[in-house]
Amino acid sequence: MDKIAKIREARTGLAAEKWIAEDDKSLPFWVADMDFKSPAFIEEALTERAAANYYGYTEINPAVKQGIADWFKLRHDLEVNPADVFVANGVKRSYAAIVGRFMEPESAAILMTPLYPPLTKIIKDLGHDVFESQLTCANDRYEIDFANLEEQLKTHGEISTLILCNPHNPVGRAWTVDELTKVAQLAKKYNLLVIADEIGRASCRERV
Ligand SMILES: Cc1ncc(COP(=O)(O)O)c(C=O)c1O
């Protein structure tokens, strides 16, 4: 049995969306489920927790917030106060909550395409117009079309929000400091709220 068939068989009965949504011939590259074996310490911690046989409501363990703050310090030299960490169930849900809370009813968003589809769909589903600024591609490298972005901001005064995805799914770019600075300058100039999805941040390496 080849490797793929083995994984597919091992996932059978686990309701693994990545694997059941595909036919037998296609390789399911559409979502970032890694299929690597989890480290033993994670398996052990989960087994220990399950052995406690308590499935009632729980509070957020303060160690989680401290762990997140420590990670930001370690990876980004950024001071985060654990008390400011808000733990939520997944990026898409948090994103929907932020859009619902912070975008005025008649306002619109601008985002750069191609883009992970739920980021567009959620905003539209919540009743907002969405403007798209297409990324350009030359020599296999995608770039933000700043001229187009600014043109649209000038034309569509109803745009209140800019969606940033960094690293950008699906084009495989982590935006540079220069690019992010330009985005920030535009946001300031046009008084935009920036909502950033940085779910893939931990997989970035220097100079990639
Ligand atoms: C850019 C981006 N945002 C969000 C998600 C999914 O987030 P969640 O499952 O936590 O809602 C993905 C998953 O592939 C993604 O690529």
195 and 94 in a common domain: yes
The closest-lying atom of ligand 1 relative to the alpha carbon of residue 169 is: 1
| Residue 22: predicted pLDDT | 64
175 and 136 in a common domain: yes
d(C-alpha 60, C-alpha 86), whole Å:
10
99 and 144 in a common domain: yes
Entry pTM: 0.85
Q: Which two tokens stand for residue 26?
A: 């296609």
N- to C-terminal Cα separation, the chain: 36
Residue to probe by mutation, ligand 1, list 30, 91, 119, 171, most atoms within 8 Å of CB = 91
Instruction: Write out residues with Cβ below 6 Å of ligand 1.
Output: 31-32, 90-92, 116, 165, 169, 197, 199
d(C-alpha 120, C-alpha 161), whole Å:
12
Domain that includes residue 66, residue range: 59-88
Question: What CATH number is associated with residue 162?
Answer: 3.40.640.10
The pLDDT tens digits along the chain (208 residues) read 688 888 888 888 999 988 886 677 778 877 778 888 899 999 999 999 999 999 999 999 889 999 999 999 998 899 999 999 999 989 999 999 999 999 999 999 999 999 999 999 999 999 999 999 999 999 999 999 999 999 999 999 999 999 999 999 999 899 999 999 999 999 999 999 999 999 988 888 776 5
Helix (H) or strand (E) holding 58: none
100 and 48 in a common domain: no
| Residue 7: predicted pLDDT | 86
| Residue 207: predicted pLDDT | 61
Nearest-CA residue for ligand 1 atom 4 is 91
184 and 94 in a common domain: yes
d(CA 47, ligand 1 centre) in Å:
26
143 and 116 in a common domain: yes
108 and 74 in a common domain: no
| Residue 141: predicted pLDDT | 95
The closest-lying atom of ligand 1 relative to the alpha carbon of residue 31 is: 14
Residue 208 lies in a domain: no
Residue 123 lies in a domain: yes
Taken in order 35, 163, 130, 182, the sign of the CA dihedral is negative
| Domains contained in the chain, number | 3
Number of H helices, E strands in the chain: 8, 6
